[in-house]
């Protein structure tokens, strides 16, 4: 089995050395870049399985880097953020980051999150080989596409996966913690704001259809409320 290749972009050389050491102990190959431009060059050259991306870098910062990555790639991206940078975390999620890790972090937390994201990415086609159809909405997890009123809707990978999961279980209420576990495949390290940001973005793009909607169940969580659903496998 081929090793997972991780691309790490961070301008702090000491942090990079520590992260690289732990990842290589887990049997992963690690490429390192200390600025956004060289990181993007490595990304195009080596096709990593996952990107660890620091938000604050000189020149091209992590926000600009993920914008460039998401133009033509759905590779998982985990952002590295400084403690308390709430605005940057939200923006990173809105731009298509799969997760974020707050510095300083425990190595076991970092490894757990990386493994969860990679595992989810590798298994998603095998476990969810289907297209779900609702009136005016079609979600394909195999092709990572969403059609809304006959037109393709551009969604970041994690928004699409959250929508697919909720739509796969119509009228079932899930807590934020359950959605973190089911879609992100972690619970203890999860932040419920991650779910809220993605739900907000989905609602902005989808609105309320007369036959289905993403509904908040106050004090509990969220559900995909429908009158009927057809599923094609």
**CB neighbour burial string for 62-101, b if at least 16 within 10 angstroms, e if fewer:** bbebbebbbeebebbbbbbbeeebeebbbbbbebbbbbbb
Supply the mean pLDDT for the chain: 84
By DSSP bridging, strand 77-82 and strand 99-103 are: parallel
| Domain 5-125 -> CATH class | alpha beta
Q: For the chain, which residues make up each domain, given as ranges?
A: 5-125, 128-232
Q: At what angle do helices 193-206 and 86-94 cross, to 10 degrees?
A: 40
Nearby residues of 23 by Cβ (< 8 Å), 6 or more positions away: 6, 8, 30, 111, 114
pLDDT at residue 3, rounded to an integer: 75
pLDDT tops 80 at residue 127: no
Ranking 24-38, 85-99, 133-147, 183-197 by mean pLDDT, the lowest is 183-197
pLDDT tops 60 at residue 176: yes
Using omega within 30 degrees of 0 as the cis cutoff, is the peptide bond preceding 224 cis?
A: no
Q: With bands split at pLDDT 50, 70 and 90, how would you rate the model's confidence at 123?
A: low
pLDDT at residue 216, rounded to an integer: 92
| Domain 128-232 -> CATH class | mainly alpha
* More confident site: 229 or 120: 120
Domains 5-125 and 128-232 share a fold: no
Q: What is the pLDDT of residues 52-84, one digit of tens each?
A: 999 888 889 899 999 999 888 888 899 988 766
> Are 25 and 1 in contact, with CB atoms under 8 Å apart?
no
Mean pLDDT value of segment 161-184: 89
């Amino acid at each position: 089995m081929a090793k997972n290749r991780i691309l790490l972009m961070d301008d702090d050389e000491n942090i990079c050395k520590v992260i690289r050491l732990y990842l290589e102990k887990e049997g992963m190959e690690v490429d390192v870049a200390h600025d956004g431009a060289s990181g993007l060059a490595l990304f195009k050259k080596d096709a990593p399985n996952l990107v660890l991306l620091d938000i604050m870098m000189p020149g091209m910062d992590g926000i600009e880097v993920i914008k460039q990555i998401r133009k033509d790639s759905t590779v998982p991206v985990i952002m590295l953020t400084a403690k308390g940078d709430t605005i940057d975390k939200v923006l990173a999620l809105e731009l298509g980051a799969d997760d974020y890790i707050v510095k300083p972090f425990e190595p076991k937390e970092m490894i757990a999150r990386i493994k969860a994201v990679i595992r989810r990415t590798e298994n998603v086609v095998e476990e969810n080989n289907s297209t779900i159809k609702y009136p005016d909405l079609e979600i394909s997890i195999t092709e990572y596409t969403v059609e809304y009123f006959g037109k393709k809707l551009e969604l970041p990978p994690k928004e699409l996966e959250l929508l697919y999961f909720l739509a796969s279980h119509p009228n079932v209420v899930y807590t934020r913690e359950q959605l973190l576990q089911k879609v992100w495949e972690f619970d203890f390290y999860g932040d419920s704001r991650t779910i809220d940001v993605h739900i907000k973005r989905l609602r902005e793009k989808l609105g309320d259809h007369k036959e289905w909607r993403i509904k908040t169940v106050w004090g509990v969580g969220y559900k995909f409320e429908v009158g009927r659903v057809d599923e094609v496998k």
